[in-house]
Amino acid sequence: QSALTQPASVSGSPGQSITISCTGTSSDVGGYNYVSWYQQHPGKAPKLMIYDVSNRPSGVSNRFSGSKSGNTASLTISGLQAEDEADYYCSSYTSSSTLVFGTGTKVTVL
Amino acid sequence: QVQLVESGGGLVKPGGSLRLSCAASGFTFSDYYMSWIRQAPGKGLEWVSYISSSGSTIYYADSVKGRFTISRDNAKNSLYLQMNSLRAEDTAVYYCARFVAAGVDPWGQGTLVTVSS
Protein backbone atom coordinates (compact mmCIF):
# COMPACT_ATOMS: atom_id res chain seq x y z
CA GLN A 1 0.00 0.00 0.00
CA SER A 2 1.61 3.26 -1.12
CA ALA A 3 1.50 6.32 1.10
CA LEU A 4 -0.99 9.03 0.22
CA THR A 5 0.62 12.04 -1.46
CA GLN A 6 0.86 15.35 0.38
CA PRO A 7 2.91 18.47 -0.41
CA ALA A 8 6.14 18.52 1.58
CA SER A 9 5.54 22.03 2.85
CA VAL A 10 2.93 24.77 2.96
CA SER A 11 3.36 28.22 4.44
CA GLY A 12 1.24 31.24 5.20
CA SER A 13 1.16 34.46 7.19
CA PRO A 14 -0.80 34.84 10.40
CA GLY A 15 -4.49 35.31 9.69
CA GLN A 16 -4.32 33.76 6.24
CA SER A 17 -5.90 30.49 5.14
CA ILE A 18 -3.93 27.55 3.83
CA THR A 19 -5.00 24.24 2.31
CA ILE A 20 -3.15 20.92 2.44
CA SER A 21 -4.02 18.29 -0.16
CA CYS A 22 -3.94 14.52 0.27
CA THR A 23 -4.13 12.47 -2.92
CA GLY A 24 -4.83 8.79 -3.04
CA THR A 25 -6.74 6.41 -5.28
CA SER A 26 -10.22 5.01 -5.66
CA SER A 27 -9.11 2.18 -3.35
CA ASP A 28 -8.60 4.50 -0.43
CA VAL A 29 -9.41 8.24 -0.34
CA GLY A 30 -11.82 8.10 -3.26
CA GLY A 31 -13.59 4.97 -2.16
CA TYR A 32 -14.54 5.81 1.41
CA ASN A 33 -15.48 8.78 3.55
CA TYR A 34 -12.90 7.66 6.07
CA VAL A 35 -10.18 10.30 5.78
CA SER A 36 -8.61 11.66 8.94
CA TRP A 37 -6.11 14.45 9.59
CA TYR A 38 -3.49 14.67 12.35
CA GLN A 39 -1.36 17.48 13.73
CA GLN A 40 2.07 16.70 15.18
CA HIS A 41 4.28 19.18 16.96
CA PRO A 42 8.00 18.35 17.28
CA GLY A 43 8.67 15.65 19.84
CA LYS A 44 4.97 15.12 20.52
CA ALA A 45 2.43 12.45 19.65
CA PRO A 46 0.04 13.20 16.79
CA LYS A 47 -3.39 14.65 17.57
CA LEU A 48 -6.57 13.92 15.65
CA MET A 49 -7.93 17.09 14.03
CA ILE A 50 -10.50 15.79 11.52
CA TYR A 51 -12.16 12.38 11.08
CA ASP A 52 -14.53 10.97 8.48
CA VAL A 53 -13.47 13.67 5.97
CA SER A 54 -14.99 16.69 7.68
CA ASN A 55 -15.85 16.00 11.32
CA ARG A 56 -14.00 17.77 14.13
CA PRO A 57 -13.46 16.03 17.48
CA SER A 58 -14.58 17.92 20.53
CA GLY A 59 -12.04 20.57 21.49
CA VAL A 60 -10.56 21.09 18.02
CA SER A 61 -10.81 24.67 16.77
CA ASN A 62 -13.36 25.38 14.05
CA ARG A 63 -10.52 27.03 12.13
CA PHE A 64 -9.75 23.51 10.94
CA SER A 65 -11.99 22.04 8.25
CA GLY A 66 -11.84 19.06 5.93
CA SER A 67 -13.30 18.16 2.56
CA LYS A 68 -12.93 15.65 -0.24
CA SER A 69 -13.34 15.61 -4.00
CA GLY A 70 -12.72 12.40 -5.90
CA ASN A 71 -9.41 10.89 -4.85
CA THR A 72 -8.15 14.04 -3.12
CA ALA A 73 -8.93 15.17 0.40
CA SER A 74 -8.06 18.59 1.77
CA LEU A 75 -7.45 20.19 5.14
CA THR A 76 -7.97 23.93 5.39
CA ILE A 77 -6.66 26.01 8.26
CA SER A 78 -8.24 29.44 8.39
CA GLY A 79 -7.02 32.38 10.46
CA LEU A 80 -3.55 30.84 10.64
CA GLN A 81 -1.90 31.18 14.04
CA ALA A 82 1.65 30.62 15.26
CA GLU A 83 0.59 27.51 17.20
CA ASP A 84 -0.60 25.91 13.95
CA GLU A 85 3.03 25.48 12.89
CA ALA A 86 3.45 21.70 12.90
CA ASP A 87 3.50 18.61 10.70
CA TYR A 88 0.16 17.43 9.34
CA TYR A 89 -0.70 13.94 8.15
CA CYS A 90 -3.77 12.56 6.43
CA SER A 91 -4.88 8.95 6.63
CA SER A 92 -7.48 6.82 4.92
CA TYR A 93 -9.14 3.48 5.29
CA THR A 94 -8.42 1.23 2.30
CA SER A 95 -10.15 -1.48 0.29
CA SER A 96 -7.81 -4.01 1.93
CA SER A 97 -9.31 -3.10 5.33
CA THR A 98 -6.03 -1.46 6.30
CA LEU A 99 -5.04 2.13 6.99
CA VAL A 100 -2.62 4.26 5.03
CA PHE A 101 -1.03 7.56 6.03
CA GLY A 102 0.03 10.46 3.90
CA THR A 103 3.62 11.55 3.37
CA GLY A 104 3.19 14.50 5.71
CA THR A 105 3.20 18.28 5.27
CA LYS A 106 5.22 20.79 7.25
CA VAL A 107 3.21 23.95 7.88
CA THR A 108 5.23 27.09 8.47
CA VAL A 109 3.72 30.31 9.79
CA LEU A 110 5.71 33.16 8.31
CA GLN B 1 -9.17 11.18 31.28
CA VAL B 2 -8.36 8.81 28.45
CA GLN B 3 -4.76 7.69 28.69
CA LEU B 4 -2.56 5.27 26.79
CA VAL B 5 0.91 4.41 28.09
CA GLU B 6 3.31 2.32 26.02
CA SER B 7 6.25 0.37 27.40
CA GLY B 8 8.70 -2.30 26.34
CA GLY B 9 10.82 -0.44 23.83
CA GLY B 10 14.59 -0.61 23.79
CA LEU B 11 17.69 -1.68 21.89
CA VAL B 12 17.61 -5.07 20.18
CA LYS B 13 19.89 -6.79 17.70
CA PRO B 14 18.75 -7.58 14.15
CA GLY B 15 16.82 -10.82 14.17
CA GLY B 16 15.81 -10.34 17.78
CA SER B 17 12.41 -10.00 19.42
CA LEU B 18 10.64 -7.47 21.58
CA ARG B 19 7.16 -7.21 23.10
CA LEU B 20 5.50 -3.84 23.43
CA SER B 21 2.67 -3.19 25.86
CA CYS B 22 0.09 -0.42 26.03
CA ALA B 23 -1.86 0.21 29.23
CA ALA B 24 -5.21 1.91 28.70
CA SER B 25 -7.26 3.85 31.24
CA GLY B 26 -10.11 6.32 31.37
CA PHE B 27 -12.41 4.51 28.95
CA THR B 28 -14.06 1.12 28.42
CA PHE B 29 -11.15 -0.58 26.68
CA SER B 30 -13.18 -3.60 25.56
CA ASP B 31 -15.49 -1.36 23.48
CA TYR B 32 -12.81 -0.07 21.13
CA TYR B 33 -10.66 -1.21 18.23
CA MET B 34 -7.00 -0.44 18.92
CA SER B 35 -4.01 0.17 16.70
CA TRP B 36 -0.21 0.37 16.59
CA ILE B 37 1.40 3.05 14.45
CA ARG B 38 5.10 3.77 14.12
CA GLN B 39 7.34 6.64 13.10
CA ALA B 40 10.96 6.13 12.08
CA PRO B 41 13.34 8.90 13.22
CA GLY B 42 12.72 12.02 11.15
CA LYS B 43 10.17 10.22 8.98
CA GLY B 44 6.41 10.08 8.57
CA LEU B 45 3.75 7.94 10.18
CA GLU B 46 3.27 4.32 9.20
CA TRP B 47 0.28 2.25 10.25
CA VAL B 48 1.37 -1.15 11.62
CA SER B 49 -1.68 -3.11 12.77
CA TYR B 50 -5.12 -2.95 14.32
CA ILE B 51 -7.29 -5.30 16.34
CA SER B 52 -11.04 -5.35 16.89
CA SER B 53 -12.61 -4.87 20.29
CA SER B 54 -13.00 -8.63 20.84
CA GLY B 55 -9.70 -9.53 19.21
CA SER B 56 -11.37 -11.56 16.49
CA THR B 57 -10.40 -9.24 13.62
CA ILE B 58 -6.77 -8.32 13.00
CA TYR B 59 -4.96 -6.63 10.12
CA TYR B 60 -1.29 -5.89 9.50
CA ALA B 61 0.74 -3.73 7.16
CA ASP B 62 2.58 -5.78 4.55
CA SER B 63 5.89 -4.58 5.99
CA VAL B 64 5.31 -6.47 9.27
CA LYS B 65 3.01 -9.32 8.26
CA GLY B 66 4.34 -12.66 9.44
CA ARG B 67 6.77 -11.04 11.89
CA PHE B 68 4.58 -8.98 14.22
CA THR B 69 1.56 -10.16 16.25
CA ILE B 70 -0.99 -7.83 17.81
CA SER B 71 -3.07 -8.98 20.76
CA ARG B 72 -5.10 -7.61 23.63
CA ASP B 73 -6.24 -8.56 27.12
CA ASN B 74 -9.51 -6.81 27.83
CA ALA B 75 -9.46 -7.94 31.46
CA LYS B 76 -6.16 -6.11 31.92
CA ASN B 77 -7.03 -3.14 29.67
CA SER B 78 -3.89 -3.84 27.72
CA LEU B 79 -2.75 -3.98 24.11
CA TYR B 80 0.38 -5.80 22.95
CA LEU B 81 2.67 -6.03 19.96
CA GLN B 82 4.99 -9.02 19.72
CA MET B 83 7.77 -8.19 17.28
CA ASN B 84 9.98 -10.98 15.94
CA SER B 85 12.73 -11.13 13.31
CA LEU B 86 13.39 -7.45 13.82
CA ARG B 87 15.21 -5.49 11.13
CA ALA B 88 17.03 -2.16 11.11
CA GLU B 89 14.09 -0.64 9.23
CA ASP B 90 11.79 -1.45 12.16
CA THR B 91 13.62 1.22 14.19
CA ALA B 92 10.93 3.72 15.16
CA VAL B 93 8.80 5.22 17.88
CA TYR B 94 5.81 2.91 18.28
CA TYR B 95 2.52 4.52 19.24
CA CYS B 96 -0.55 2.83 20.65
CA ALA B 97 -3.83 4.52 19.67
CA ARG B 98 -7.57 4.05 20.05
CA PHE B 99 -9.91 3.95 17.07
CA VAL B 100 -12.64 6.59 16.96
CA ALA B 101 -14.79 6.19 13.84
CA ALA B 102 -12.06 5.69 11.21
CA GLY B 103 -9.56 7.95 12.93
CA VAL B 104 -7.28 7.19 15.86
CA ASP B 105 -7.43 9.23 19.06
CA PRO B 106 -5.82 9.60 21.44
CA TRP B 107 -2.28 8.42 20.93
CA GLY B 108 0.12 7.31 23.64
CA GLN B 109 3.44 9.06 24.16
CA GLY B 110 5.24 6.36 22.19
CA THR B 111 8.05 3.94 22.95
CA LEU B 112 11.31 3.86 20.99
CA VAL B 113 12.49 0.63 19.42
CA THR B 114 16.04 0.62 18.08
CA VAL B 115 17.26 -2.33 16.03
CA SER B 116 21.03 -2.26 15.74
CA SER B 117 24.02 -4.52 16.22
pLDDT tens for each residue of A1-25: 799 999 999 999 999 999 999 999 9
Q: Is A34 within 8 Å of chain B by CB?
A: yes
A contacts of B110 (beta carbons < 8 Å): 45
> E strands within chain A?
9-12, 18-23, 35-40, 47-50, 64-69, 72-77, 86-93, 99-101, 105-109
- Min distance A15 CA to chain B CA atoms (Å): 28
Give the model's confidence band at B101: pLDDT under 50 very low, under 70 low, under 90 confident, else very high. confident
Q: Which of B60, B102, B110 is the closest to A36 by Cβ?
A: B102
pLDDT bucket at A79, cuts 50 / 70 / 90:
very high
**Cβ B105–A51 below 8 Å, yes or no?**
yes
Q: Cα–Cα distance between A96 and A93 in angstroms, integer?
A: 8
**Cα(A32)–Cα(A68) distance, integer angstroms:** 10
What is the band of B95 on the pLDDT scale with cuts at 50, 70, 90? very high
The β-bridge partners of A57 are: none
The H or E element spanning position B80 is: strand B78-83
